[in-house]
Structure 1
Amino acid sequence: MEIDFLAPLSQDLLDQIKNLDQHSLGAKTLFHSERSGLPDLENVHVAIFGVKDNRRAVRKSETPEFSQLRRNFYRLFPGNWRVNIADLGDVEAGATVDDTYFAVQQIVESLIKKDILPVILGGSQDLIYAQYRAYDKLDQMVNLVNIDSKFDLGDADKAITSESYVGKIVVDQPYNLFNYSALGYQTYFNSQEEIELMERLFFEAYRLGEVTADIAAMEPVFRNANLVGMDLNAIDSGSMNSAYFNSPNGFNGREICALARYAGISDKVSSFGVYEYQNNLGDLANTLVAQIIWYFVEGVNYRTNENTISAKKEFIRYQVPIEDEVLVFFKSPVSGRWWIEIPFLDHVNTKLKRHTLLPCTEEDYLEACNQVIPERWYKAKRKNEV
């Protein structure tokens, strides 16, 4: 582990956590302290760390400090979990933002290689770029899900900001991105040019109303994700009770926690970031963010490990003739979840092999039986052909 990049938690904070209830999360978490150093990560499943850098935020604010958030999180009680948690402390802002990116990239990559799931507390949302770059050496194409009111595509020829980083992810080498899914976008925050660009790139975009009308329909989107980022600005200002988050529309507390749980329960998701945290948040907002992290860990605990070869051998296979295609669906007898097979072409980069099954819903199967091709299947197939 890159210990040089990580500053320990303050002793004052650790003393406060030590005085929490003996059954709380604080009593069951391993901490990076100045006295003991980094904890042993041998049996750790989830590792939390903060990133104190927001220099590329569009809206300037103080450097984030996560003590209050940690106090609110560690006072919560775990469920009947088998998940072991470690808090690795914080990445201090580097001499340059690129130095911060490098530190985050190295830490996330190292944790993923250890089969430990990093939970990143940000800082401005451009840090997703560093989170994504951690997959450069992992020999796989990746799917990014972003819970945000904006697409954050931006101009790839200009410098990265907290609202302009996805374009860089798309064009910068090495090319790892297979799919980008934006959940909860609000049309009036995004230009028609960006909306049309999302269509041309065969990316997925789900409007806020579409997501809130059927939260459960978003589960397959997360099931196909490798990394997930969440902009706290996607939450409505009433739920955050903060002047900084000034949009009257957005996800409420229950909805955002449900999305976090879907991210956690996905067997594929190997990193999760919560961004745009602010120091001036009150106790209500800090409690909500703490509960978002709690629900993500709850989801991790209930993973079914269906993304294995042995598990897939037990899937029930269904064939549906439609137009000039035969769509092949699979259903898990354990969880009841559905997948659809994507016919990748032989010449495609071998990194794509693990994406041959696309998560879907039972409704997708039923619509296919009525001769309606699922839109997600169509976009994935077209992405493979171009």
Structure 2
Amino acid sequence: MAFDFLEPISNELIDFINTLPPQSLGKKVVFHTESEFPVLQNATIAIFGVLDNRGLQVNKAVDLVEIRKTFYSLYPGNWHTELIDLGDIPQGNEQEDTYYAVTAICTQLIKQHVFPVVLGGSQDITYAMYRAFDQLDQMVNIVSVDGRFDLGNDEVKHTATSYLSKIIVNEPNNLFNFSNVGYQTYYNSQEEIDLVEKLFFDAYRLGDVSNTISIAEPVFRDADLVTFDLTSVKSADSGNINTFVPNGFNGKEICSLARYAGISDKVKCFGLFNHNGTTQESMLIAQVIWYFVEGFNFRTVENPLVNANNYLRYIVPVDDMELIFIKSIKTERWWIEFPFTTNVNNKMKRISLLPCSYDDYLRACDQELPERWWKAQRKMVL
């Protein structure tokens, strides 16, 4: 059974939780202990750790105790979500062993409609989370909040800076789209930037997202798997001086992005990686998780194709085409329609609406095609 890979939380953490106030999160979560395993049927979100840092090519052990202590010391909002903590996956003899365990557990949780929140570990664990979708018969959209594209040389196996190459190259290839939020140009070679463009992937520079954080919302709304690299946060806010980052998202921005990820009713997996285990960074990570769960509790399932009465349709002529935009009356979120092609792979038949923004609609009114719509169309005909 997949959950046999998990080790219970430590007695140190249990003792700490016993000292918390009754209103705290720690008193409302069911934990995997030596004497008890949580009942999955009662759960909405399952948190588990992955104690494998080898993708960073360091021998430093992963310690998630401080993150858990800080998170469980917080107070929940007006939440209906039932949280469980499944404990940790220990480092396997080989990295493939760790990947196998992560994939098996994520697959089992998703099939049982329990949402996995994965605490790493190095970011190459994203690859193992992606492989969990192999049995779900669908194409996958990945969003990574990261200063780098992680398109390193695939010959350098199992590193946090090359996992995206493995996702692109390895079969079965279920990747439909990859979106990077917050890349910093000087951390990426021109060849990597050109490849992202050639593959019609989406990339948003740090400055653009920081200036207008809302441009990231439609990107998360179209994601199946979301991962955060904690080195995308500047060290002044994260306290990470081991991997010093002079520029990056601030604490408020990274929490806003986490809330966008949580509120997206399409996201099925969420991962946080590449942290250094310090007390300062643990405090930030705890709040990032809190905002993700907060967003999760405010999810609104909307499908403009099912109940058209709750939506407004706008037809915009652009060149020799008519673009159809749809706006939700309830949430004021926007989508754009695009037609199927005749040779669409069966796994891609679910794609008919693309989340977009009000600004995309305004640009279309000015005869400018939305970039994400154009890229999605290009991928559909390849």
TM-score range, shorter chain: over 0.9
SS at match of 1:355: coil
Q: 2:187 and 2:283 mapped to 1: Cα distance?
A: 27
Q: Cα distance, 1:343 vs. partner? A: 1.9
Aligned to 2:82: 84
1:74 maps onto 2:72 in alignment: yes
Q: Is the 8 A contact 1:62 1:278 kept in 2?
A: no
Q: Could you state the TM-score of these two structures normalised by the residue count of structure 2?
A: 0.97
Q: Is the 8 A contact 1:47 1:85 kept in 2?
A: yes
Q: Is the 8 A contact 1:263 1:296 kept in 2?
A: yes
Aligned to 2:12: 12
The partner residue of 1:251 within 244, 249, 252 is: 249
Q: 2:34 and 2:101 mapped to 1: Cα distance?
A: 19
Q: Is the 8 A contact 1:316 1:330 kept in 2?
A: yes
SS at match of 2:144: strand
Residue 34 of structure 2 aligns with an amino acid whose one-letter code is E
Q: 2:172 and 2:213 mapped to 1: Cα distance?
A: 33
Q: Is the 8 A contact 2:141 2:175 kept in 1?
A: yes
Q: Cα distance, 1:157 vs. partner? A: 4.2
After superposition, where does 1:367-386 map in structure 2 within 5 Å? 367-386=363-382
Q: 1:165 and 1:368 mapped to 2: Cα distance?
A: 35
The partner residue of 1:290 within 286, 290, 302 is: 286
SS at match of 2:325: strand
Q: 2:380 and 2:187 mapped to 1: Cα distance?
A: 30
Q: Is the 8 A contact 1:305 1:311 kept in 2?
A: no
Change in 2 beyond 3 A, CA 1:383/1:271:
same
Q: Is the 8 A contact 1:102 1:130 kept in 2?
A: yes
Residue 30 of structure 2 aligns with an amino acid whose one-letter code is L
Change in 2 beyond 3 A, CA 1:311/1:86:
farther
Q: 2:309 and 2:9 mapped to 1: Cα distance?
A: 45
SS at match of 2:124: helix
After superposition, where does 1:201-212 map in structure 2 within 5 Å? 201-212=199-210
Q: Cα distance, 1:61 vs. partner? A: 4.5
After superposition, where does 1:91-110 map in structure 2 within 5 Å? 91-110=89-108
Q: Cα distance, 1:154 vs. partner? A: 1.6
Cα deviation per residue 1:301-354 (whole Å; 9 max; x = unaligned)?
000011486456633222111111111111111111000012231211011122
Q: 2:224 and 2:66 mapped to 1: Cα distance?
A: 29
Structure 1 unmatched runs, 5+: none
Q: Is the 8 A contact 2:275 2:281 kept in 1?
A: no
Cα deviation per residue 1:11-70 (whole Å; 9 max; x = unaligned)?
22112112101000001101000012x111112111000000011214x24120211110
Q: 1:343 and 1:65 mapped to 2: Cα distance?
A: 48
Aligned to 1:322: 318
SS at match of 1:134: helix
Aligned to 1:117: 115
The partner residue of 1:236 within 218, 230, 234 is: 234
- How many residue pairs end up in the alignment? 382
Q: 2:102 and 2:296 mapped to 1: Cα distance?
A: 22
Residue 176 of structure 2 aligns with an amino acid whose one-letter code is F
Aligned to 1:43: 42
SS at match of 2:141: strand
Residue 43 of structure 1 aligns with an amino acid whose one-letter code is N
Q: 1:307 and 1:179 mapped to 2: Cα distance?
A: 21
Residue 141 of structure 1 aligns with an amino acid whose one-letter code is M
